[in-house]
Structure 1
Amino acid sequence: MDYIHRSLERKFLKMSSAFKAVMVTGARQVGKSTMLNALAQDSARVCVSMDDADIRDLAQRDPKLFFQMYQPPILIDEVQKAPALLEQIKLLCDESDERGRFWLTGSQSKRLMKQAGDSLAGRIGILKMFSLSAKELAGKADDIPDDYSLSSFIKRSQNYPANNILDVYDRIWAGGMPDMVSMDAELRRAYWNSYIDAYLMRDAVDDNGIHDTEGFRRFLRASAAFSGELLNYNDLGSAAGVSGVTAKEWVKVLQSMGIIFLLEPFYNNELKRMIKTPKLYFCDTGLCSFLSSWTSRDALMNGAASGHYLENYVVSEVLRNASYGEKSVNLNFYRDTNQKEIDLILEMDGRLHAFEIKRAASPERKIIRTFSLLKKSGREIGPGAVICMAERPFPVDASTFLLPVNLL
């Protein structure tokens, strides 16, 4: 399979020119090593992997000798398997002003983040990678929205095909793991079974000390069923057959592994009666679909949960844009005790942008009424949109428009 360019490349290279060490973290198999190896091809950078038992043993036993044999600039893959290297990297960083001497990848874990933060504070830039986005799969890795106006999306739409619900749900069901791009349904099932057993369950035991593996497996499936919902630890735990306290701990584990993320509610002193509970989403909708036993795109698209999956997909795509883009972006949602809700609030350049997410191609106009709630926040309000199955961007009123899902 040909290399698929990643949206994170730009930011990674920029960080490499500013920091002595740069580390890319993320869930297993999202393409961290592939990207860095591709970027290292045209340079004299040494590339080593801690998956090699002999190299890993040397790195752990004698870090000084390791760096005599493998001298910077260097790419060290799966650095979490040889944590003894981090202290030596710190010393080598302090010996030179050269930027980008150390490129590191590490599967996301609490232990690795703590070790890197403690050893390399001020010397390392840390970036997070997700599975493939729709843009990356379409060969448009650098096309990250930095302007959420109608005119901006009309201009972008000229380079995209018309929105199509079959294509969108195909992406939702398949997910974005690079190894799965050319797989059929049978191979995808085998891949996900292997992924859960070889990575998630092993990491749960080895990195997080979870011994109730069957309980954790049930918890994975329960989490998928609660995707897009307000997070209630007691309900989630009950669905998995564990306590609410255990559910809270295991949610943290899934976050640290890069499997789920929590979207926090919008907070503002001027707005009253707001819900303070986060919502749970999966970073990859393909894994979520598999865990919920959706066996095909059409079964998922026509199922009762299709709206929840579209919402998860949209929020995860916007999360990728926020992580990879140049501008600082905050993502939240709004819900109050009167059940008034805004699916997604994006804060950028000091302005708030409100979004509703709907499966319809021609959603009703009344769904944007809640957007006016943000005016009470005292913040500057930017254009809002209904992210939906409309074929092209189209104005709803002076400040709101229909935004096709495929333009995110």
Structure 2
Amino acid sequence: MADYAPRVVDALLDELQPHLAATSIYGPKGVGKTATARRRATSVLKLDDELDLERVRADPTVITSLSAPLLIDEWQRYPASWDRVRRAVDDGAEPGRFLLTGSSTPRGVSVHSGAGRIVGLRMRPMSLYERRIAEPTVSLSAMLAGRAAIDGETDLVLGDYVEEIVSSGFPGIRSAPRRARSSLMRAYIETIVQREFPEQGYPVRRPESLLGWLAAYAAAESSTARYSEILDAATPAQGDKPAKTTTIAYRDALSALWLLDPTPAWVAEGSLLGRLGQAPKHHLADPALAAHLLQLDTDALLAGSRNARRPWGGSILGALFESLVTLDVKVFASNVEARVYHARDRNGLHEVDLVVQGAGGRVVALEVKLTATIQDTDVKHLLWLKDRLGDDVVDMAVVTTGRYAYRRSDGVAVIPAALLRP
């Protein structure tokens, strides 16, 4: 696989796979799970292939008889394969024996959680770092350790970031020409609605209602809008709106397919911050999905949508840029077992876009700004958090579309998005 683009999760697999009997790589379709896993496998069972699926159904013992490491690709096509692997681990399977990849767990199918036997690693669409569009210089893991060097320069400007938003982090889509990318993205969404939802046990009687809800969710990207508000936005002139149970089913199915990737609200220990909001920030798995659902391409975003306001505040381009940076940070944080949150007080006076919490409660606070230059007002929420939490906040930064990475006199780093790395 000479054209394989190394992924951040590879380093984690290098570290963990030799010591784990079974490892599961999960995430939405098209993120590259199979390509990553196949490089590590000696034998492969592709359960989305009818011949391999029939082979396993006819003789499930093939799962434990093939040469290791064995990759069971799209294991959810035969859910019993998960339990067979789990039992093999219980029976003493050697380290590195199994790799499983999948993009969902079918609704109503009972499988053992695998806790303690099968270790799961989430794979997301490609970060900017994995897309190799610049030479990144600022390490998130070093920031969490409190010893990051903040320097570097990039030639990328706003238009480049907009192109990356619409190009997507799905390897098979982003490598295509612009017109083909649009067709592939449309086909991806149609497959979700027409095939993946029914396979999940969620028959879609009114595809247009689901697509309308998806578009409204896309418009709520990077916001904490209530689901009732998203439904109202999806059906502004409809008297017979989909029932709440229907929209909950949409959310549950999309979550099961790993196509929703909300950022949870941070619950800080103690009362130094006062009462914080509890609502998650909405994110689709890839901001390109949101852009396509809203029928926004590079030209449309640059021509005027940057300033288009949303019911939930902010511009849609600002929301999509924040979503792009959030994707990057989540990819990097998972590599060092850190968690990503957002923080907002109940009064809405203070909000920090991203709170990365690592071992020992160490916190890196990040603001995302669709601008090349930073003003004092852009860092006030970061300084508020630092003032309240003191040394627990080991670093602060504003992530921008600018050219240079540098440290301000107040201690806040300014980092172009393309210069951030794991």
Taking structure 2 as the reference length, what is the TM-score of the superposition?
0.85
Residues 274, 345 of structure 2: 8 Å contact kept: no
Report which structure shows greater RCO (CA 8 Å, sep ≥6). Answer: 2
- Select which of 172, 176, 194 maps to 1:179: 172
Deviation, structure 1 residue 211:
2.8
Q: Counterpart of 1:214 in 2: which secondary structure?
A: helix
For 1:179, give the aligned amino acid. Answer: G
Structure 2 CA distance for partners of 1:370 and 1:86, relative to 1, 3 Å:
closer
Change (3 A) 1:78 1:141: farther
The answer to whether the Cα contact below 8 Å between 1:263 and 1:333 also exists between their aligned partners in 2 is no
Query: Structure 1 pair 176/142, CA: closer, same or farther in 2 (3 Å)?
Result: farther
Superposition map of 1:1-400 within 5 A: 2-40=3-41, 45-65=42-62, 67-68=64-65, 70-109=66-105, 111=107, 115=111, 117=113, 120-138=114-132, 145-148=140-143, 152-155=148-151, 157=152, 161-212=154-205, 213-241=207-235, 242-268=242-268, 269-270=270-271, 271-295=273-297, 297-302=298-303, 303=305, 304=308, 305-323=316-334, 325-349=335-359, 350-374=361-385, 375-377=387-389, 380-400=392-412
In 1: Cα distance, 2:201 partner to 2:369 partner: 37
Alignment root-mean-square deviation, CA: 2.7
Contact 2:154 2:404 in 1 (8 A): no
- Does the aligned pair in 1 maintain the 2:86–2:118 contact within 8 Å? no
* 1:113 Cα offset (Å): 9.9
Mapped partners of 1:99, 1:111: distance in 2: 30
Contact 2:407 2:413 in 1 (8 A): yes
Residues 163 and 405, structure 1, Cα contact 8 Å, conserved in 2: no
CA apart distance, 1:292 = 0.7
- Quick one: which amino acid aligns to residue 60 of structure 1? R
Q: Deviations over 1:237-270 (max 9, x none)?
A: 1223334443334223222211121112222341
1:35 is aligned with what amino acid? Answer: T
Moved more, 11-20 or 134-143: 134-143
Aligned residues: 396
Farther off after superposition, 351-360 or 367-376: 367-376
Deviation (angstroms), 1:307: 0.9
| 1:243 to 1:153, Cα distance in 2 relative to 1, 3 A | farther
CA distance, structure 2, for counterparts of residue 114 and residue 329 of structure 1: 29
Give the distance between the partners of 2:28 and 2:108, measured in 1 at CA. 13
The answer as to whether partners of 1:230 and 1:279 remain within 8 angstroms in 2 is yes
CA drift at 1:138? 0.4
CA shift for structure 1 position 71:
4.3
Specify the SS of the correspondent of 1:281: coil
Deviations 1:166-195 (A, max 9, x none): 221111111111112331221112101211
* 3-state secondary structure, aligned to 1:397: coil
Distance 1:72 1:402, change over 3 A: closer
* AA of the residue aligned to 1:251: R
Q: 1:372 to 1:249 in 2, by over 3 A?
A: farther
Q: Within 2, Cα distance between the matches of 1:153 and 1:123?
A: 39
- Unaligned runs of 5+ residues in structure 1 are none
Q: CA deviation at 1:232?
A: 0.6
Q: Tell which deviates more after alignment, 30-39 or 89-98.
A: 89-98
Q: Is the 8 A contact 1:361 1:388 kept in 2?
A: yes
Residues 266-309 of structure 1 deviation map (CA, whole Å, 9 limit, x = unaligned): 223413243221110122111111111013x1322341221111
- Specify the SS of the correspondent of 2:296: coil
CA contact (8 A) 2:221 2:323 kept: yes
What is aligned with 1:401? Answer: 413
Give the conservation status (yes or no) of the 8 Å contact 2:173–2:185. Answer: no
Secondary structure of 1:227's aligned partner: coil
The secondary structure found in structure 1 opposite 2:196 is helix
Q: Which moved more, 1:390-399 or 1:368-377?
A: 368-377
Q: Residues 118-140 of structure 1, C-alpha deviation per residue, up to 9 Å, x if partnerless?
A: xx332211111111111111087
Cα distance between partner residues in 2 of 1:390 and 1:235: 34
Cα pair 1:72 1:102 within 8 Å, conserved? yes
SS for the counterpart of 1:85 is helix
SS of corresponding position for 1:363: coil
- Paired amino acid for 2:288: G
| Greater shift in the superposed pair: 104-113 or 5-14 | 104-113
Aligned sequence identity (%): 23
